[in-house]
Structure 1
Amino acid sequence: MASTFIQAESPEKSRKLPPLTEGPYRKRLFYVALVATFGGLLFGYDTGVINGALNPMTRELGLTAFTEGVVTSSLLFGAAAGAMVFGRVSDNWGRKKTIISLAVAFFIGTMICVFAPSFAVMVVGRVILGLAVGGASTVVPVYLAELAPFEIRGSLAGRNELMIVVGQLAAFVINAIIGNVFGHHDGVWRYMLAIAALPAIFLFFGMLRVPESPRWLVERGRIDEARAVLETIRPLDRAHAEVADVEHLAREENAISEKSVGIKEILSSKWLVRILLVGIGLGVAQQLTGINSIMYYGQVVLIEAGFSENAALIANVAPGIIAVVGAFIALWMMDRINRRTTLITGYTLTTISHVLIGIASMTFPVGDPLRPYVILTLVVVFVGSMQTFLNVVTWVMLSELFPLAIRGSAIGISIFFLWMTNAFLGLFFPSIMEAVGLTGTFFMFAGIGVVALIFIWTQVPETRGRTLEEIDHDVTTGVIFDKNIRKGKVS
């Protein structure tokens, strides 16, 4: 980055932007978003495919319970590193070039996994996939947020989360089909993994045809290029007004310092530290709901609930379907309902779901014919609540919370903690289930949900209905943490 943190003046022009009108720019904008969100599709597929591929992989590669956990979590630890590295890389290379490099990493990682002859090679491939997944989870939401008009930023940036759950559902469905049709073949899991090469190829060639983030271009002083990009995805008068807004903010920052912003500069400002902690908290809280334990070990949970192995593989599609339905509802809500309201509703519903799953596990003992169906129903309710009210809004807020000068680095740090939480939960979830059972595990998640609700209520600011430049100003001056403004009660 070319600039450092400052307390910028409020960009008055951003409050007087010309309105969005109908025109061909909308199709172009949505096409660009579709291409970029194939990074989210790969994120979802590569994290979800292990759910059905692990059992046949274990038999062929001779995995133990421990090495199964290593294969599963190696992608997640790689993702934590990828989030940190590629957030910073995108600030230096640009969002577009970074996403292109991630497409290459997705393809290479997939090929290594498909042809892996041993456990060690499989882990290498999974780590490379993890780097790509972590990078995509950081860079794609930022790219979308920086392209989107503030009026529809929530629904446009939220499409990445929709594509993540579409990718996970695709993995569950493809696993079920391939497992049933080709289950007698040696190496059936390799077919499941190989499918991921197709969207990686599409992402690579698609990104060659889309523009760079106009806000990144302005930050680099490439004003004419930024204006040209915005003219293709905005009405003409709106494009010029937005460029003026971002240029004004960037000029103020550059007038203060040409030094890059790093951890030291972030830690020197209490407001940047506070917003970074909010971002970290949002990411960690989302993972501690246990949502990805269902996505990675859903078959294990359903077998514990009482389904047979084959029935659990098929039943596992139900949470995937409800996740996609919930994502569509979430996109509709993003630009209509405040972020804080959505978060509070979501953590309330998921916490209640956890409690009900724990109670059902106690009420319906193993062997009761109702037990698997009651627990499956409650798991579907949990996943639906999570996807409708928490997943999309969390990723959208992470893409819009941070000032431009630290955006790539700050979201990278936040998502690093998100992925580390995800990785450790993925590594130890089977041990937790073994130690405290289904009942204890979900009561534990419920307790964490209460803590998350307190955090959201007291610390997380409202961002809906503000331009990124207004959020930038309010964060760097600390105004966003005013009690009324934080809750979105005043504009």
Structure 2
Amino acid sequence: MAKEQYLTPSRASGPNSQTPTEPFVKVIALVATLGGLLFGYDTGVISGALLFMGNELQLTPFTTGLVTSSLLLGAAFGALFSGHFAAAAGRKKIIIILAVLFAVGAMGTSLAPDVHWMIFFRLVLGVAVGGASATVPVYIAEIAPANRRGQLVTLQELMIVSGQMLAYISNAGFNAAWGGETTWRWMLAVATIPAVALWFGMMFMPDTPRWYAMKGRLAEARKVLERTRAPSDVEWEMTEIEETLAEQDNQARPRLRELKKPWLFKLFLIGVGIAVIQQTSGVNTIMYYAPTMLKAVGMSTDSALFATIANGAISVLMTFVGIWLLGKIGRRTMIKIGQFGCTASLLFIGCVSYFMPETVNGQVDVLRGYMVLLGMLMFLSFQQGALSPVTWLLLSEIFPTRLRGIFMGGAVFAMWMANFAISLAFPILLASVGLSGAFFIFAVIGLAGAVFVIKCVPETRNRSLEQIEHYLHDWLSDDVETRPLPASKRKIESH
């Protein structure tokens, strides 16, 4: 059976369509990814705020780790629950609720009277961050045309790193303008503005055609496709959606118990692995603790805050590179480049901090601090230019339509739990084995992640979501030859 034509379709429309993206799709993606901007700002702003809130909130090393990582714990559960609710209530409604949580969390943290309230509102923010990380990529992937899905989903990553850069600029700006112990409250309060914009904008956006179709609302699904697709693409995509869902008509409401099916269990584990290796690279120790690390290698507070802006700038720049690369090379190639490049950069940081002396002629070696900063910039070039964009894209593509919300939530839950564990442990790790030891440990974990990438990550480029679903079923199942293709796929084979 000539499956190759089905696996790599050659039709003029759909995944290989040359038609330009409809303007309304770009508007939808821009509004939805304000959730990514908030994600980035709320995770990045703490790096500077920690330098100022310590005395007022009487932070210890342990509570410092809790303030940072409590958001991540909330994010893990936010991702898990939003995945379940998004299937029932719709992607749009979940994003609107998350916008409210973003606003409440931002104001709550900025007004927190003590560390207990700070941790509570950081948890609230975390629920919003995790929910956005699980829901926004799925929303965009399901509403974007197949030939532009990679670039539009990766816009989420661009907004995340833009939010982080804005946080670093805000931290340095508020410190330069006002300084003082209360500066951190203004740093945290600024996030309320994009939260309100996200809530307002999503009120006017549609839900995805796949969610409407899953709920039997086919007329509304077609209406959304007509607003977001070239006329030549509407009919075939509607047919694909209907055929894929028709295959699942006899199946019960989507639940995690379906992991009993071997191919779905394998696919879910691959998704969890893709999500976790992005965090075990140690990326968020750099994003959350960069000023702390730079101060530890000899920089002043002002210099560390200013230098951290470079991290944000390189992240934004390299995300543009990542978006460009997604249109040129495959997902597997990109994730390999990112994983191997990040691991090499971690080794570089470890070697610099281990072999370069802390002092020269009785003076702090400033060069050592800038070499560590160079290592961070190298790391972020590979992380944001390759690894992170393709991670979010793959997670939004590989899961079946009916189970996408639940499986995405589970995978992103695992991602945030890994992030939580690493961020909570990093200050302790820094105190016990030093900066070099911490990054050598991350490098070893990175090598293990590289083995996983080579053996397990699939290629999904140039396929519609429905074609990916059938391809992965065939790849991970033992009954490939006995499984009939749906009508639309048989037509592709016949050509």
The TM-score with structure 2 as length reference comes to 0.92
Q: State the Cα deviation string for residues 233-259 of structure 1 (Å, max 9, x = none).
A: 1112312221111011111210x22x1
For the 8 Å contact 2:347–2:439, the answer to whether it is kept is yes
Shift of 1:18: 2.9
Q: Which residue of 1 aligns with 2:362?
A: none
- The secondary structure found in structure 1 opposite 2:294 is helix
For the 8 Å contact 1:400–1:468, the answer to whether it is kept is yes
For the 8 Å contact 1:42–1:200, the answer to whether it is kept is yes
- The secondary structure found in structure 2 opposite 1:158 is helix
2:248 is equivalent to residue 261 of structure 1: no
What does residue range 78-477 of structure 1 map to in structure 2 within 5 Å?
A: 78-184=74-180, 186-254=181-249, 256-257=250-251, 259-266=252-259, 268-367=260-359, 368-477=365-474
How many residue pairs get matched?
470
* CA distance in structure 2 between the aligned counterparts of 1:337 and 1:167, rounded to whole angstroms: 27
For the 8 Å contact 1:84–1:412, the answer to whether it is kept is yes
- The secondary structure found in structure 2 opposite 1:307 is coil
* CA distance in structure 2 between the aligned counterparts of 1:463 and 1:357, rounded to whole angstroms: 33
The TM-score with structure 1 as length reference comes to 0.92
Shift of 1:362: 2.3
* CA distance in structure 1 between the aligned counterparts of 2:28 and 2:129, rounded to whole angstroms: 19
Kindly tell me: are residues 151 and 21 of structure 1, through their superposed partners in 2, closer, same or farther at Cα, counting changes over 3 Å?
A: closer
CA-atom RMSD in angstroms: 2.0
In structure 1, what residue type is equivalent to 2:256? I
> Greater CA deviation, 362-371 or 386-395?
362-371
* CA distance in structure 2 between the aligned counterparts of 1:17 and 1:248, rounded to whole angstroms: 20
Q: Which residue of 1 aligns with 2:490?
A: none
For the 8 Å contact 1:14–1:242, the answer to whether it is kept is no
> Greater CA deviation, 286-295 or 54-63?
54-63
- The secondary structure found in structure 1 opposite 2:446 is helix
For the 8 Å contact 2:22–2:230, the answer to whether it is kept is no
2:35 is equivalent to residue 39 of structure 1: yes
Shift of 1:21: 5.6
* CA distance in structure 1 between the aligned counterparts of 2:159 and 2:27, rounded to whole angstroms: 14
In structure 1, what residue type is equivalent to 2:292? V
Q: Which residue of 2 aligns with 1:7?
A: none
Q: State the Cα deviation string for residues 341-374 of structure 1 (Å, max 9, x = none).
A: 1111111111111111111112211023321111
Kindly tell me: are residues 205 and 11 of structure 1, through their superposed partners in 2, closer, same or farther at Cα, counting changes over 3 Å?
A: farther
For the 8 Å contact 2:297–2:358, the answer to whether it is kept is yes
* CA distance in structure 2 between the aligned counterparts of 1:105 and 1:452, rounded to whole angstroms: 34
Q: Which residue of 1 aligns with 2:24?
A: 28
Shift of 1:265: 1.5
* CA distance in structure 1 between the aligned counterparts of 2:447 and 2:226, rounded to whole angstroms: 46
For the 8 Å contact 1:21–1:235, the answer to whether it is kept is no
Shift of 1:460: 1.0
Shift of 1:480: 8.3
What does residue range 34-73 of structure 1 map to in structure 2 within 5 Å?
A: 34-73=30-69
For the 8 Å contact 2:262–2:477, the answer to whether it is kept is no
* CA distance in structure 1 between the aligned counterparts of 2:7 and 2:170, rounded to whole angstroms: 51
In structure 2, what residue type is equivalent to 1:119? V
- The secondary structure found in structure 1 opposite 2:22 is helix
> Greater CA deviation, 118-127 or 417-426?
118-127
For the 8 Å contact 1:52–1:313, the answer to whether it is kept is yes
For the 8 Å contact 1:292–1:422, the answer to whether it is kept is yes
Shift of 1:191: 0.6
2:10 is equivalent to residue 18 of structure 1: no
For the 8 Å contact 1:272–1:475, the answer to whether it is kept is no
For the 8 Å contact 2:75–2:416, the answer to whether it is kept is yes
Percent of matched pairs sharing the same residue? 43
Q: State the Cα deviation string for residues 224-283 of structure 1 (Å, max 9, x = none).
A: 1011011111112312221111011111210x22x11212112x2111111110111111
